[in-house]
Amino acid sequence: MDILPIIIVLNAIFILAAMYAERANPQMLVLWMVLMGTLPLIGFILYLMFGQTFYSRYAFKRKRDDDAKSMIDPDKVRKFGLDPRSDGMSQALERSGASQCLGGNDVRYVSESEDFFDSLFEAMEKAEHHLFLEYYILRKDATGRRILEILIEKAKAGVMVRLLVDEVGTRNLPKDLKKELKKAGGKVYTFHKISTLLLSAKKNNRNHRKIAVIDGKKAFVSGYNIGDEYLGKGKFGHWRDAAVIIEGPIVDCYTRVFLQDWRYASFEDLVNDRDLYCAEESGKDIPVQETHGGPDMPGTNSIHMQYVSIATASREQIWLTTPYLGPSDAVLYQLRLKALAGADVRVIIPDIGDHVFVYWGNRYCASRLMDAGVKVYEYHDGFIHAKTMVGDGYYCAVGSANLDPRSMNLNFECNAMVYSEEVGKQMTQAFEKDLERCTEYTMEMYRNRTGIQRIKTFLSRFAAELL
């Protein structure tokens, strides 16, 4: 019996099924269709394992429904009048899943690793009531062990300790310290377990959030993971990242995000425990929104809306930094439009890739910006991992989300949206300092790629859409 016609018919049925399931994401679908057509049946199996996104609508339904029921104590929500240029943006972000925009906050922008970790260690050591940490990576090295040792010490002192990590990113914690932390009364969970991911479509949905909440009064929102390399002690040398350290009412919103993720991973429901929402107004009045996104929010990713909104609202200047450059069409067109209209649009990317396919994928996306007048710079002093965008020195985005398809569609991410000329100035100055360690990457350089480099560009772009 000739099975080739059967394979062809089955493959056609599979492709049509994928077209129907992924009709909201046509660009990604086209590439998977090419793969399925090239590798009949095998391509479809790979699509089910790594590429499909429709399953997330059902896989995370419990989390989505549970999260919708939780709320911040209404007595702690203080509404206030934003600058007219920000009021519409804050409402749009809230309607797309972000928190309320709250005032009464103090925000400090941090761009050096030593400052970030020193501040985090100090705050953790002063904790009196609870410590909530959520990180994609917690390395099994000196920095990771120090974090765990502080958590153990605080748990023994009666502080409520909860640690949530992504098992794909972290893989394994030091067993002795993990055991000691549990013995001291602390709790640690992984967002997903690798053993349950092998045959699950969730394997591509990683918890990439980086949040620390101390006593419900101070929040660290960043691109930093926990480990020696993020202190510049790894193969890349100097590590440039970014964070905001926040005190004020908005900290309650980061507490809520953590507790929602904790409930999903551990089944311990603390989301509506009002004693854990302890934020107080600071001495300043900086408006901040908590933005987050993930596969549990299909079509309403507030971080994507955040980047689109900043690019749309800014008129004179848009400066952004990202290690992985792959903006959606909505962001790409706005950045191109603003550059063509004469705005100062600049992008900093690394001059090295920490993953296969990243280097030339970044440069392909850069070419789509540069031909409209956007200036792109390569950072040479180690590795730049910061995920930031500042528009007109006022609209400020900082957090865990890269400007790429994975962060917008697959990962769980968390950012801060800050409306502040003070913070905008800090971010602008840090960007200008970074430019001193950069060289401009030009359209001419891109066009002069060798044949091998052109093949690498194609493969990198192809892989970026698939993975």
pLDDT in tens, the chain (467 residues): 567 777 677 767 766 766 666 655 656 666 667 777 777 877 777 776 666 666 666 667 677 777 765 555 545 544 555 566 677 899 999 999 999 999 999 999 999 999 999 999 999 999 999 999 999 999 999 999 999 999 999 999 999 999 999 988 998 888 889 999 999 999 999 998 776 666 566 667 899 999 999 999 999 999 999 999 999 999 999 999 999 999 999 999 999 999 999 999 999 999 999 999 999 998 899 999 999 999 888 678 999 999 999 999 999 999 999 999 999 999 999 999 999 999 999 999 999 987 777 899 999 999 999 999 999 999 999 999 999 999 999 999 999 999 998 899 889 999 999 999 999 999 999 999 999 999 999 999 999 999 999 998 888 876 665 55
Q: Is 130 a catalytic residue?
A: no
pLDDT at residue number 377: 98
Among the listed residues 210, 304, 338, 456, the single catalytic one is 210
Give yes or no: 208 in active site: yes
Q: Among the options 130, 387, 404, 434, which is catalytic?
A: 387
Cβ neighbours of 64 (radius 10 Å): 20
Q: Are 52 and 17 in contact (CB under 8 A)?
A: no
Examine the residue annotation and report whether 392 is marked as an active-site residue of this protein: yes
Active-site residue (options: 385, 404, 434, 456): 385
Contact 118, 108 (CB under 8 A): no
pTM assigned to the model: 0.89
Q: Which residue bears the tokens 């698939």? A: 466
Identified catalytic residue from 208, 217, 292, 456: 208
pLDDT of residue 31: 66
Which DSSP letter does residue 415 get? E
In whole angstroms, give the CA distance from residue 330 to residue 364.
Answer: 17
Query: Half-sphere exposure (CA, 13 Å, Cβ side) for 62?
Result: 6
Residue 451 neighbours by CB under 8 Å, 6+ apart: none
Please say whether the beta carbons of 210 and 136 come within 8 A.
Answer: yes
What are the helix (H) ranges across 2-141? 4-21, 26-38, 42-46, 56-59, 61-69, 84-95, 113-125
Task: Sort residue 185 into left (φ over 0), alpha (ψ -120 to 50) or beta.
Answer: left
Known catalytic residue at 329? no
Residue 205: predicted pLDDT: 86
- Cβ(302)–Cβ(292) under 8 Å? yes
338 counts as catalytic: no
Let me know if 183 is a catalytic residue. no
| Segment (H or E) for 134 | strand 130-135
Catalytic residue among 67, 166, 215, 434: 215
Q: Are 404 and 276 in contact (CB under 8 A)?
A: no
214/247 Cα distance (integer angstroms): 10
Catalytic annotation, pick one of 67, 392, 404, 434: 392
| CA atoms of 396 and 273, how far apart (whole Å) | 31
Phi/psi of residue 131, each to 5°? -130, 115
